[in-house]
Amino acid sequence: MDITASPQRLSTDFIVVGAGVAGLCAAIELAEAGRVLVIAKDSLLESSSEYAQGGIAAALSDDDEVELHEQDTIVAGDGLCKIEAVRTLVEEAPAAIEQLIEWGTAFDRAGSQLLFAREGAHSRNRVLHARGDSTGHEIVRTLRNHARSLDNVSFQSFAAVTDLLKIDGEVGGVVALDEANHTIVWIEAQAVLLATGGLGRVFENTTNPDVATGDGVACAYRAGAVISDIEFVQFHPTALYLKNAPRFLLSEALRGEGGYLRNASGERFMERYHSQKELAPRDVVSRSVVMEMRATGDESAFLDLTHLSPGLVRERFPRVYETCLRYGIDLETTPAPVRPAAHYAMGGVQTDLYGRTSVPRLYAAGEVACTGVHGANRLASNSLLEGVVFGARAGEAMSETRDVPRKEAGFTDPVLYPCIAERDVRAIAWNSCGVLRSGPELRAALNRLRERRFQSIQSPERGTFELRNMHQVATLIALAALMREESRGGHYRTDFPRKSRKFERHSVILNNGLEPNVAFA
């Protein structure tokens, strides 16, 4: 690939980067305003949303109230939720669910009635599932079909979106890698939405798909957008832990149905760590599993479902059951070995309630964004809901740019090929920025990451760009985690194990062209 050659140029009205729940909801909302190009990374069928097992939360049952959903979200957020964002999420949830049903989403039912389940830290049964553990897949299927029925919405796959195009301080499009044709493509647009999903692949152990390499956060940071609360990463406590097997997520709903966590000696241990036992908040359960493993010297804990009614796991969680069976674990007869794995990012590109970032014409929605709705720790099954609600709101706001003339100055050439890091970035992030953190480990991680950033790129391909982005995001996480000298939500410091009112604020990171600058506001 000749990186000095003039890029191919395309244009559209609006660009949506990401074909998960948030991106599709935005595209549907934008369709009446102009031509919408939805860009998928690698495959239109691959997104974090596709793998969401747990469900989608909404206060729709007879014994539930929006105020209770709001309260549970705030409690889980551990003092850092932005109340207005939470209120927007829970108040718009019922109508969002009704819209999904109208478009064809087949949620699980008991007869004609929607079937509501309860998950960790929820005070009511308010979580809807589809085909047991395929909720994300069903919602994406519905949204994709609806988006494809709209004349103005088109889809295109690229190996990666590598950077954002800027015109005199405003975003004017994206830079994409067409790896199959060995070309770089500049796609111009009135506005760009980042709906790129998560960053779990920054860590060595993660439940996230291969595409979740933090691209949206890294691209936005390089373009000058504010990054907020990036230190808050949720580690799911029960990822399947087998050699030569992916860290497949064993849904929290399994514990909601009565699953136990045991150590290698067969003892239930969660009661030693929290009064809610297996249904404690995810961050508590993850830390408890790690602490128990350290105390016993075990390689894993075990999720035990063998005492549940025969056939329940197979019928309620067919995808989980079949996946575990493929790797030799029959969940109805054998406890599954589990360990925590990086699962969800509470922080990301800072936005308002309509997806607007600090850079004009750049928007973000879904897991890549930080609205403040999750605070320091996401409440189970609020993530799909966030994508639906705030994806649509971002699309609404983007449509307002349709008639606003774009600046005519030429594009600032994006920095396509900066230095990259060696491939031990994921190990550095996991060992130093994982479930348990400390100041010395975080400082050492930052030093190691800095040592690895001055290596030149010889082969510009998808993996190269992903590695650059993972290096950038790992650096931001390590720096923000080092500066937050307390423990709160998904961020736990062994040297600062308690919360501090001094840090009841949001981390804010700006790109000043040198080292990232972290402040709290």
Cα–Cα distance for residue pair 443/464, rounded to 1 Å: 25
DSSP 135-162: HHHHHHHHHHHHHHTSTTEEEEEESEEE
Helix (H, G, I), strand (E, B) or coil at 282: helix
d(CA 285, CA 256): 13
Asked whether the beta carbons of 366 and 224 are under 8 A apart, the reply is no
Q: Do 39 and 20 touch, CB atoms closer than 8 A?
A: no
Out of 118, 247, 282, 287, which one is annotated catalytic? 282
Measure the CA–CA gap between 398 and 395, rounded to whole angstroms.
Answer: 5
CB-based contacts of 431, cutoff 8 Å, min separation 6: 204, 441, 445
Report how far residue 377's alpha carbon sits from residue 237's, in angstroms, rounded to the nearest whole number: 13
- Beta-carbon contacts of 373 under 8 Å, excluding residues fewer than 6 positions away, are 73, 81, 82, 85, 86, 88, 89, 382, 386, 390
Which candidate, 180, 216, 177, places its Cα nearest to that of 7? 177
Residue 255 dihedral angles phi and psi, to the nearest 5°: -75, -30
**244 and 238 in contact (C-beta within 8 Å)?**
no
Cα separation, 11 vs 306, whole angstroms: 56
- CB atoms < 10 A from the CB of 463, how many? 15
**Burial class of residue 472, CB neighbours in 10 A (0-12, 13-18, 19+):** buried
Report in angstroms the alpha-carbon separations of 520 from 7, 180, 490, 504. 40, 43, 17, 9
The closest of 284, 366, 387, 369 to 76, measured between CA atoms, is 284
φ/ψ of 26, rounded to 5, equals -65, -45
Distances in Å between the Cα of 282 and the Cα atoms of 84, 106, 505, 506 are 24, 28, 21, 21
Is residue 23 within 8 A of residue 202, CB to CB? The reply is no
The pair of three-digit structure tokens given for residue 110, joined into one six-digit string: 């008991």
> Per the structure block, which two tokens stand in for 238?
């029960």
Q: CA-CA-CA-CA torsion for 447, 485, 231, 52, nearest 10 degrees?
A: 130
H or E segment at 121? none
Q: Catalytic residue at 282?
A: yes
Mind telling me the catalytic residues? Answer: 282
